[in-house]
Amino acid sequence: MKTAVDAIFIGRDRRYNRRFAQMCGHYLVEPEACTPASRWEKGQVENQVGLVRERFFTPRLRFKTLEDLNGWLADKCVAYAKGLAIPNRASAQFRRCS
């Protein structure tokens, strides 16, 4: 796939190409595009991915099944999220949404 976006509109509005839209539908992912000329947005996402990799997968762990991995990861993510403050909403609490 050369690019995921066919057209860029104002703000975060995009027209995604057919193959990318099919992939998002298959994996039940809602794409959220960065705004043009906002270099810091991409870096923030990459930093968060790096944080999760470092915090949860160092050292590299092994699991017998994918279900075991998913269960372990869900528990770790929930435990981590409970310790985070939500910006601008100090009274908000984390709730599991499964």
| pTM score, whole prediction | 0.43
pLDDT of residue 48: 76
- Concatenating the DSSP letter of every residue in the chain gives ---SEEEE-STT-EEE-HHHHHHHHHHT----PPPTT-HHHHHHHHHHHHHHHHHHHSSPP--SSHHHHHHHHHHHHHHHHHTSPPTT-TT-------
Q: Rounded to whole angstroms, how far apart are CA atoms 43 and 52?
A: 14
Q: What is the mean pLDDT of residues 28-52?
A: 74
- Span 48-97, pLDDT tens digits: 778 878 888 888 889 999 999 999 988 988 888 887 766 665 555 555 55
